[in-house]
C-alpha cells in the first residue's frame, strides 16, 4: 500500500475503495494508495504546478463547465481525467480519457473497456458516462487547438 501517488501517462483510472483508500489501475499494474481519489487528483495537479481547484477553474473558464468538470492534470501530455460523480462524494471514480477504448450500457449501469483490456463497471447511467466522455473530449480539443 502506497502513501502517495502521482498520475502519469500510464494511469488508467482511480477508484475509491474506502473513505481514504484508492485503487489505481495503470496500463500494466494495479496499485493501492492510502488516500481518497480527490486527494490523489489534487496532489497530482500540485505535482504538475497547479491545484485541483485551479484546474477546475481553468475548465470553467475554457468551457463554462463547473459541475463534474473534467480536468487537465498535465497539459503538455494531454493527461485529462473526468469524474464519474461529484468529487465531493466518496464514491467518485476518476477516468483517464486517453485510455478509454469503448464504453457501453450494462443493465442500467455502464461498462468502460480500456485500451489495456481492463474493464470497469460503473454505477452510473450510460447517458451520464457519455456526457462525461464528451466533455473531456471537448476539453482535449480546446487544449489541442491552443497548442497550435
Render each residue's pLDDT in the chain as its tens digit; 148 residues: 999 999 999 999 999 999 899 999 999 999 999 999 999 999 999 999 999 999 999 999 999 999 999 999 999 999 999 999 999 998 899 999 999 999 999 988 999 999 999 999 999 999 999 999 999 999 999 999 887 6
| pLDDT on residue 90 | 85
In a domain? residue 2: no
Containing structural domain, residue 59? 11-147
In a domain? residue 66: yes
In a domain? residue 101: yes
Q: pTM for this structure?
A: 0.95
Q: What per-residue string of b and e applies to 65-92 under the rule 16 or more CB within 10 Å gives b? A: eeebbbbbbbbeebbbbbbbbebeeeeb
- Domain count along the chain: 1
In a domain? residue 3: no
In a domain? residue 6: no
In a domain? residue 1: no
Q: What interhelical angle do 52-63 and 37-47 show, nearest 10?
A: 80
In a domain? residue 125: yes
Amino acid at each position: 500500500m502506497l502513501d502517495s501517488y502521482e498520475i502519469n501517462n500510464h494511469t488508467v483510472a482511480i477508484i475509491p475503495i474506502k473513505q481514504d483508500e484508492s485503487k489505481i489501475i495503470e496500463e500494466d499494474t494495479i496499485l493501492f494508495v492510502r488516500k481518497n481519489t480527490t486527494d490523489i487528483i489534487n496532489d497530482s495537479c500540485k505535482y504538475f504546478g497547479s491545484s485541483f481547484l485551479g484546474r477546475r477553474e481553468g475548465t470553467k473558464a475554457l468551457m463554462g463547465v463547473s459541475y463534474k468538470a473534467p480536468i487537465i492534470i498535465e497539459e503538455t501530455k494531454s493527461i485529462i481525467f473526468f469524474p464519474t460523480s461529484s468529487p465531493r462524494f466518496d464514491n467518485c471514480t476518476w477516468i483517464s480519457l486517453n485510455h478509454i477504448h469503448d464504453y457501453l450500457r450494462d443493465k442500467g449501469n455502464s461498462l468502460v473497456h480500456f485500451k489495456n483490456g481492463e474493464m470497469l463497471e460503473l454505477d452510473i447511467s450510460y447517458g451520464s458516462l457519455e456526457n462525461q466522455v464528451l466533455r473531456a473530449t471537448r476539453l482535449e480539443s480546446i487544449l489541442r487547438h491552443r497548442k497550435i
